[in-house]
Chain A
């Protein structure tokens, strides 16, 4: 192996292994996938739970309509399969308009003394104005409300159908229809997954890219500063050119970042497949909405083609290179933590700037802002992958954006290497802008 390459490999190995061994790397690699899954799964789980806990088993129906609406509602609520008509009848209390007040006060006492959880009142206005009243301990439960509403609706429809002379069996088959909806993104390139899912995934992707770039950038900055402060840099650059050290550092850290991304998404995918069935069990198939909520996470993900994955990886690699070289230059410029905080502001601002606009771009991924930001080298690594999950971007735009980031990398590396080489051996006060320009112009 060529000596220079052997040395570069030695540097890469050190940068990679020393970071991967650190506790924070292991912890963050393990923790983030759980957070990712949690972010998707918890809302789905909660929505599933709010419906399943809607317990109708102790609801009483007070029917003062004088029709069999009450019986139908009870049947829909308690005996949708027509196997246990007695169970449905047990919940039903018929009254007349005259006895309604008395029946209600009995039911009220039942609720107060916990013999029932609540009661539905169907009176003469129910059939005409399609309105009923529910009183009970869990009056705020949306799930319960939905269930009763649905039963009532079926009852009213059945009544009307009956009034037009349709027989009971047919009525049943007509009213027992349940509909659910799933949303799909459709554009000029065809189907592309669920709209909400794409937004969640896109935002998460952008956030993790940004987060990773910032964290590893800061990490490089601290590493360079440590090398400079401990003077170990001088020993190292007596064996390898400063450029090789910088290249090895950026490649090593980029490798750590990539490893972490792979761990994150890999683990999240595995966790998701474990948690998906659990969620649908939770909802017990009873509520379509809950199933859809859980399904968002799994089945409705945007179509991740190989090209998509490859370009996100490239964006990440270029992005982390761009920022790591700049942060390395900052690290070489300064001699103390306080100075570093200050000197890093311009670089950090670039990264923050690209993230500030993530939300507006998510809401409007075709805006001019979104277009511009996906062409600028400092923001494209975050913005372009986000847009690619939201829209289908023509391949030439992706390639052009990648080219722009690559070009940005070359320029950033050129400047950073020059500042790095000089700064690494300069101790004392932070250089002024003019001195920096001079550093860049030093031939060697």
Chain B
């Protein structure tokens, strides 16, 4: 057993001359909420499909919980919510769910028990109405989305892969999904989701991998990534007006190249090669009463733009979407 839910090594895939994914390597630790970020067409869905063994990579290897993903049953412990959702429209909800559960190795009986619990939990089975008895196409879109969640999670997988899970969700279902992700994480499950919404990833993910044009741009823990790309900006707030000693420190061009003075709060830009901790020590030494001293971290969106360049960002690629 390994500590990694997923290990992707040097994976490449191309379609008739067009490279979808190039030399991608990434590791997803067990129990992490992992974001696969990138603009539309970056290769996220291809990566996920290779992960699920829906398509095979041309090169490289993929392991799920320490097992090659093409071994029989390797993907049984995996729940998948595709970007474009769909169920058999003319099938009864319960039958669709039982079918999906049985495909993952659940017995019909066990599936039925869990389906009832899920339908009740998501409000699809109440005293008045059991939507489980209806056909899929009789349900509203929001209800169908709920059924699709159930289908993804019915077999209680240890690894959940959600492709653009928030797109097309109504606010209530989006909230429910967020709660579900948090709940899964709490129960030690690993969650991977792809999104082109950086801000969302930043809020939910422990780790991220940003890919563009089929290549990995960067990956790692969110805090680590942001720290690595932390700029030279420091937000400083003092209790009371700065004394002379403090002003002298702030005026030291070897430490600080620029000060934006907002009276009691300052935005500083650190001099090249200067250490922020050195600055902090000297400020305290000068007798400053510090309320706030923060290395201002760039958003993932900013990091992404910095790394990939705004020119490569497609329409719809935004940190505020």
When distances are taken between beta carbons in the complex, the residues of chain A under 8 Å from B213 are: none
Number of contact residues on A: which range applies?
20 to 34
User: In whole Å, how far is B40's beta carbon from the nearest beta carbon of chain A?
Assistant: 14
B62 lies within 8 A of chain A by Cβ: no
**Bound complex: CA of A275 vs CA of B254, how far in Å?**
110
**Bound complex: CA of A4 vs CA of B72, how far in Å?**
7
A403 lies within 8 A of chain B by Cβ: no
User: In whole Å, how far is B38's beta carbon from the nearest beta carbon of chain A?
Assistant: 19
**Residue from B82, B90, B95 within 8 A of A235 (CB atoms):** B82
When distances are taken between beta carbons in the complex, the residues of chain A under 8 Å from B87 are: 230, 232
Q: Are B54 and A238 in touch, CB under 8 angstroms?
A: yes
Q: Are B151 and A10 in touch, CB under 8 angstroms?
A: no
When distances are taken between beta carbons in the complex, the residues of chain A under 8 Å from B78 are: 238
For A207-250 the 0/1 string (1 means CB < 8 A from B) is 00000000000000000001101111011111111100000000
Known: A232-B86, A425-B55. A238 touches B91 (CB 8 A): no
A14 lies within 8 A of chain B by Cβ: yes
**Bound complex: CA of A105 vs CA of B100, how far in Å?**
89
- Closest chain A residue, CB of each to CB of B84: A231
When distances are taken between beta carbons in the complex, the residues of chain A under 8 Å from B49 are: 425
Q: Are A239 and B104 in touch, CB under 8 angstroms?
A: yes
- Closest chain A residue, CB of each to CB of B52: A238
Q: Are B89 and A238 in touch, CB under 8 angstroms?
A: no
Q: Are A239 and B84 in touch, CB under 8 angstroms?
A: no
A438 lies within 8 A of chain B by Cβ: yes
Known: A10-B102, A240-B103. A444 touches B76 (CB 8 A): no
Give the total number of A-B pairs whose CB atoms are below 8 A apart.
69
When distances are taken between beta carbons in the complex, the residues of chain A under 8 Å from B88 are: 18, 226-227, 230, 232
**Bound complex: CA of A4 vs CA of B53, how far in Å?**
15
Q: Are B73 and A231 in touch, CB under 8 angstroms?
A: no
When distances are taken between beta carbons in the complex, the residues of chain A under 8 Å from B65 are: none
User: In whole Å, how far is A12's beta carbon from the nearest beta carbon of chain B?
Assistant: 11
Q: Are A10 and B82 in touch, CB under 8 angstroms?
A: no
B16 lies within 8 A of chain A by Cβ: yes
- Closest chain B residue, CB of each to CB of A230: B86
Q: Are A239 and B86 in touch, CB under 8 angstroms?
A: no
B56 lies within 8 A of chain A by Cβ: yes
B307 lies within 8 A of chain A by Cβ: no
- Closest chain B residue, CB of each to CB of A233: B86
**Bound complex: CA of A236 vs CA of B87, how far in Å?**
10
When distances are taken between beta carbons in the complex, the residues of chain A under 8 Å from B80 are: 234-235, 238
When distances are taken between beta carbons in the complex, the residues of chain B under 8 Å from A231 are: 82, 84-86
Q: Which of B102-154 contact A (CB under 8 A)?
A: 102-105, 151
Q: Are B56 and A444 in touch, CB under 8 angstroms?
A: yes
B47 lies within 8 A of chain A by Cβ: no
When distances are taken between beta carbons in the complex, the residues of chain A under 8 Å from B100 are: 235-236, 239
Q: Are B103 and A239 in touch, CB under 8 angstroms?
A: yes
**Bound complex: CA of A226 vs CA of B90, how far in Å?**
10
When distances are taken between beta carbons in the complex, the residues of chain A under 8 Å from B207 are: none
When distances are taken between beta carbons in the complex, the residues of chain B under 8 Å from A3 are: 72-73, 76, 105
User: In whole Å, how far is B247's beta carbon from the nearest beta carbon of chain A?
Assistant: 63
B266 lies within 8 A of chain A by Cβ: no
**Bound complex: CA of A142 vs CA of B76, how far in Å?**
75
**Bound complex: CA of A348 vs CA of B103, how far in Å?**
33
Q: Which of B53-79 contact A (CB under 8 A)?
A: 53-56, 72-73, 75-76, 78
Q: Are B75 and A239 in touch, CB under 8 angstroms?
A: yes
Q: Which of A10-60 contact B (CB under 8 A)?
A: 10-11, 14, 18
User: In whole Å, how far is B19's beta carbon from the nearest beta carbon of chain A?
Assistant: 15
A7 lies within 8 A of chain B by Cβ: yes
User: In whole Å, how far is B67's beta carbon from the nearest beta carbon of chain A?
Assistant: 13
**Bound complex: CA of A425 vs CA of B15, how far in Å?**
13
**Residue from A6, A7, A230, A235 within 8 A of B89 (CB atoms):** A230
- Closest chain A residue, CB of each to CB of B103: A239
A99 lies within 8 A of chain B by Cβ: no
Known: A7-B103, A10-B99, A10-B103. A18 touches B84 (CB 8 A): no
Q: Are A234 and B54 in touch, CB under 8 angstroms?
A: yes
**Bound complex: CA of A234 vs CA of B49, how far in Å?**
9
Q: Are B91 and A235 in touch, CB under 8 angstroms?
A: no
**Bound complex: CA of A47 vs CA of B94, how far in Å?**
55
Centre residue among A7, A239, A242, A444 by max chain B CB count within 10 A: A239
When distances are taken between beta carbons in the complex, the residues of chain A under 8 Å from B85 are: 231
**Bound complex: CA of A232 vs CA of B84, how far in Å?**
9
A443 lies within 8 A of chain B by Cβ: yes
**Bound complex: CA of A425 vs CA of B16, how far in Å?**
15
**Bound complex: CA of A10 vs CA of B106, how far in Å?**
11
User: In whole Å, how far is A20's beta carbon from the nearest beta carbon of chain B?
Assistant: 13
Closest 9 pairs between A and B when the two form their complex, measured CB to CB: A230-B86, A231-B86, A444-B56, A239-B103, A231-B84, A232-B86, A238-B52, A10-B102, A238-B80
Listed A/B pairs (25) with beta-carbon separation below 8 Å: A3-B105, A4-B72, A6-B105, A14-B95, A14-B99, A18-B88, A18-B90, A226-B88, A230-B86, A230-B89, A231-B84, A231-B86, A232-B86, A232-B87, A232-B88, A234-B80, A234-B86, A235-B100, A235-B151, A236-B100, A238-B53, A238-B54, A425-B55, A444-B55, A444-B56
Given contact pairs A234-B82, A238-B82, enumerate 8 new A-B contacts (beta carbons under 8 Å): A6-B102, A231-B86, A232-B86, A234-B80, A235-B80, A235-B82, A239-B100, A425-B49
**Residues of A near any B CB (own CB < 8 A):** 3-4, 6-7, 10-11, 14, 18, 226-227, 229-232, 234-242, 425, 435, 438, 443-444
